[in-house]
Structures are given as C-alpha cells and as structure tokens.
Amino acid sequence: MKLAGKTVLITGGRRIGAALARLLAERGANIALSYHSSTAVIQEVVEDCRQAGVQAEAYSADLRHCEQAEALVAQTVARFGSLDVLINLTSIYTRTPFANLQPGDYEEAIASNLSAPYFTALSAARAMQQQPTVDGLQGKIIHFTDWAVDRPYRDFLPYLIAKGGLVTLTRALAVELAPTITVNAIAPGTVEPPPHVSAERLEQIRNTSTLGKIGSADDVNRLVLYLLEGTDFVTGEVYRVDGGRFLGSSTGEA
C-alpha cells in the first residue's frame, strides 16, 4: 500500500501516536486522530501534520462505547472520503497488585484495552469493506498489545488479560477480513517511557533487556511503516519490539 493520499485513523495520539502521525503525514497520508482527554497535545500534532501538507483532524471519542467508535469512523469517512488504515493505540496502563484487586479493575482494563479497539476495528473494517479493492486491498489494521502477554509480570493482571485478548482479536480478525484487509499487531517493550518512571526503574529495565537499552518511538514506528508500505503479504502476526527483553532475565516486574 502506498500511503500518499490515503486516510489513516490513529486512536490515542500521545507519545508513540504523535510521532507516528507526523511520520505518516510526511509520507503523504491524511491523518485522523482520536483523543479522550489530551486536547492540547492532539491539536499540536494536527497542526504539525497540516504543516506537512496533508489534511488532518482530531475527534473526541470515548471508544469504550460502541456508538462513539462508530461515530468516530463515520466522521473520518465523511471528512476524508475513505478510511484506509486503522492504528489502534488507545490504552491504559494501571498497576493493580493482586492483593488489592477489585472487580472494577478488571472491568476498566477490559473496556479500555480490549473493548475499545474491538469496537473501533469492527467499525473501521465495515467501512473499509464498502470501498473499492485496490491492488487486492481494501485496508489495513494494526493493533498495539504488549510484549509481556507471553511473559507476564506481577501487579498488572487485568491489563495483561486484556492485552492477551487483543492478540486473539488480531489473529481472529485477520481470518475474518482476509483477503482484502490485513490485521497485525505490535507488542512493544518499554518505549518512550512516561515522565514518572524513575531513573532507577529505567536502569532495571535496561538490565533485563538483551540489548541493554530502552526503545524509542522510531523503533516501533519504522515497523508500522513496514507493515503499511513495505509489505501486503503479512496478516495475523504479532511483532515484539522489546530490545530482546523477552529473552532477558525475569525480575517479576513490569
């Protein structure tokens, strides 16, 4: 798929998503972004994309609710005329020690990390299926899961359950939507860590990584670019981008 002139919808536009939107805009893609609360950050990204010479818009949506996911897709198609790529980045990452677990912890994790991408992917896929097939394709979907789905650590049980469900969603949806829509997932390790992560914690993470370093948004987004423009022959796959942390020594922690 050539991105120039295509429409890409990115859910969750902070950090990795913001860098990705700018990268894809530079490749000529029109960008739609959804956000829940980060208005100022998203608007800055939209302006940067427009400066790259493409069309860009931001839409407020709580994707935990099916009707809002459907409205987001409808707004995107109405504004840009098509929806060619969905990148599901929206997620929450909340520590939930086992001894303190409440039913609401599970419900929140499932709603934000599994239901939201599920609703958005279904709505996007149905919109893509209404479009002409070009070079055998109607669209592409990429989900973001977590490297630790295959090697769980403590204190994040509901989160990891939800992200594991997202892996299954990726593979099952790839079967449902073949051969005209590809569905893949990326499972990052620690990439672009949030400001509250201490230097000591980052050093611990480096020590559990085979490559001994923390990843960047570019490390992930170059893989996104490959899945979009570099190949049309991959679907149902989950790619770890974790610096080899999956292979490293386990500390029992995130």
More confident residue, 176 or 211: 176
Q: Is the pLDDT of residue 253 over 60?
A: no
Q: Summarize pLDDT for 109-127 with one digit per residue, the tens.
A: 999 999 999 999 999 999 9
Question: 69 is written with which tokens?
Answer: 């996911």
Q: Per the domain annotation, does 151 fall within a domain?
A: yes
Mean pLDDT of 43-68: 96
In percent, the amount of the chain with pLDDT more than 70 equals 96
97, 204, 18, 155 alpha-carbon torsion, rounded to 10° = -10
Residue 113's pLDDT is: 97
Mean pLDDT of 60-82: 97
Mean pLDDT in the chain? Answer: 92
Closest Cα to residue 215, out of 185, 238, 193, 247? Answer: 193
Total count of domains within the chain: 1
Q: Per the domain annotation, does 78 fall within a domain?
A: yes
Q: Per the domain annotation, does 160 fall within a domain?
A: yes
Mean pLDDT of 129-142: 97
Q: Is the pLDDT of residue 196 over 70?
A: no
More confident residue, 100 or 203: 100
Mean pLDDT of 187-193: 82
Q: Per the domain annotation, does 215 fall within a domain?
A: yes
Residue 195's pLDDT is: 66
Domain boundaries, position 230: 7-247
Is residue 222 within 8 Å of 124, Cβ to Cβ? Answer: no
Q: Per the domain annotation, does 50 fall within a domain?
A: yes
Q: Per the domain annotation, does 234 fall within a domain?
A: yes
Collect all residues with Cβ–Cβ distance below 8 Å to 94 and sequence separation of at least 6.
105, 108, 109, 156, 158, 159
Q: Per the domain annotation, does 200 fall within a domain?
A: yes
CATH number of the domain within which 163 lies: 3.40.50.720
Q: Per the domain annotation, does 161 fall within a domain?
A: yes
Residue 57's pLDDT is: 97
Polymer length in residues for the chain: 254
CA gap 149, 152 in Å, rounded: 6
User: In DSSP terms, which residues pair with 183 in a beta bridge?
Assistant: 141
Which amino acid is it at 27? R
Give the pairing type, strands 238-241 and 56-60. unpaired
